[in-house]
Amino acid sequence: MPAHRALLRAGFLLVLLSLVTGLAIPLFRNARLAVAAHVTSLLGGLLLVGLALAWGALRLSAAQGRWVRGLFLFGTYTNWGATCLGAAWGTSRLTPVSGAGFQAASWQELVVEVLLVSLVLAMLVGAVMVVYALRPALVPLRETTLAGKN
pLDDT value, residue 147: 55
Q: Say if 146 falls within a structural domain.
A: no
Q: Say if 30 falls within a structural domain.
A: yes
Q: Say if 103 falls within a structural domain.
A: yes
Region of residue 68 (left: phi > 0; alpha: psi -120 to 50; beta: else):
alpha
Q: pLDDT tens digits for the chain (150 residues)?
A: 788 899 999 999 999 999 999 999 999 999 999 999 999 999 999 999 999 999 999 999 999 999 999 999 999 999 999 999 999 999 998 888 888 888 899 999 999 999 999 999 999 999 999 999 999 877 666 655 555 555
C-alpha 117/C-alpha 78 separation (Å) is 10
Q: Say if 27 falls within a structural domain.
A: yes
Q: Say if 38 falls within a structural domain.
A: yes
C-alpha 50/C-alpha 134 separation (Å) is 14
pTM: 0.87
| Domains identified in the chain, total number | 1
Domain that holds residue 102: 3-133
